Amino acid sequence: MVKKRSDFEHKVLARGSKPVDFARYAAWEIGLENLRNKRCKRMKIKGSTTHTGQARIFKIFDRGTQKHPGDVALWMSYLEYCKQAKATKKFKTVLTAAIRLHPLKAELWLYAARWSLESEADMKEARSYMSRGARFCTMSKDLWIEWAKLEMIYLAKISIRRKILGIDVEEVADDAMEIEGAGDDAAFGSEDVIAVPNFKMNTIRPSMLEGVPVDKEAAQDPMNTPALQGAIPLAIFDEAKKQQFFNPSVAADFFDMFAVFTQVRCLPKILQHVLDALTESYPRDPFTCNCYNKQPLVGIDPISPEFPVALGTFLDRLKESMEKTKDKTALAKKTKAWIEPMLATSELDPGIKTVLEHTMRKL
């Protein structure tokens, strides 16, 4: 162990040392510390020097981040170890230092917001991180979409909580859906389930809001509360429109993200707002036409009695859009992409399946 430690010290002290050298050194010390803890537990040795081992690892990361302050991956490794060691005070210190050095790194702001939700159950602090990050990262569309998604998850949780508390008369089971995509547990309780796919690994997930209290907001009248009518997600979208990264593709990403939250009562208002913005700025763009076509089908199950009427509206809009769009090929490709999953539905009505297949052939 002494020789191994000495070898690592020579590497990190050398003139051409790299951030990965410090990361490997810290990883070896972490493995050694875990092994020592297991042996102490097996041999029932009390009073072991756990803090000494942690202090040594913290020192390695401190030296590494001081020598290579521009390496974000090393900072993230440091933060992950602090979380693993449950060193909350140290974690906050390191996180503050990392954000101060790299305020333009969207992943750090998102990481901070995720931590606030998972570890602190603090929605106010998570919002603060996201809003400050959006002010710095004006070129990161993902951060703005994640911020809006955070607010939509919060609204969906309030909506489901209202049903559980008996404020809304609809059955809770109507909105309790299994999460799609990553297989992450999205339960907020025995019945609080929000359906929202994970677009990527480093993203806001419903399970992160598990401990966030919402009873106070849920008890308010949504008709008299702007926040419960979608004012915050709409404000985020309107601010995103002013950024340089905004284009029809980004607006369509907002539309698709919002469309997942069928539990939110103000969803039609939010979708219409996004569609109005698209229509005003990009009336003939394929992204605009695709969102316009999908709008009647949002939140409607393909095997439900309401689906045929919505499908008829969709077909009328599709015909209208194909005549006015500036790129029919792109619109046809986008339409096929979300019709195909419908055709895969096992209980789909034969008549509806025939109509959809005929539509696919025409496209």
Question: Block means of pLDDT (10 residues each) for the chain, length 363 residues?
Answer: 90 90 93 88 73 88 94 94 91 95 93 88 90 91 92 87 70 40 34 44 69 70 75 94 93 94 90 95 94 92 90 93 92 91 87 91 87
The pLDDT score that the predictor gives to residue 119 is 83
Dist. CA 321–CA 323, nearest whole Å: 5
- What's phi and psi for 43, nearest 5 deg? -90, 5
Q: What is the pLDDT of residue 310?
A: 92
Residue of 227, 284, 231, 289 lying closest to 255 (CA atoms):
289
Matching residue, tokens 């998102």? 110
At 197 the pLDDT is 44
Contact 283, 267 (CB under 8 A): no
Please report the pLDDT score of residue 24 as a whole number.
93
Task: Give the predicted TM-score (pTM) of the model.
Answer: 0.80
d(CA 336, CA 107): 33
Pair of tokens at residue 228: 């419960």
Residue 284 in contact with residue 247, Cβ under 8 Å?
Answer: no
Question: C-alpha angle with apex 314: 310 to 317, nearest 5 degrees?
Answer: 140
> Which residues, in sequence order, are bridge partners of residue 187?
193
- Give the model's pLDDT for residue 174: 44
Residue (of 238, 237, 242, 231) closest to 253 by Cα position: 237
Contacts of 319 (CB under 8 A, 6+ apart): none
Both structure tokens of 204: 């806001």
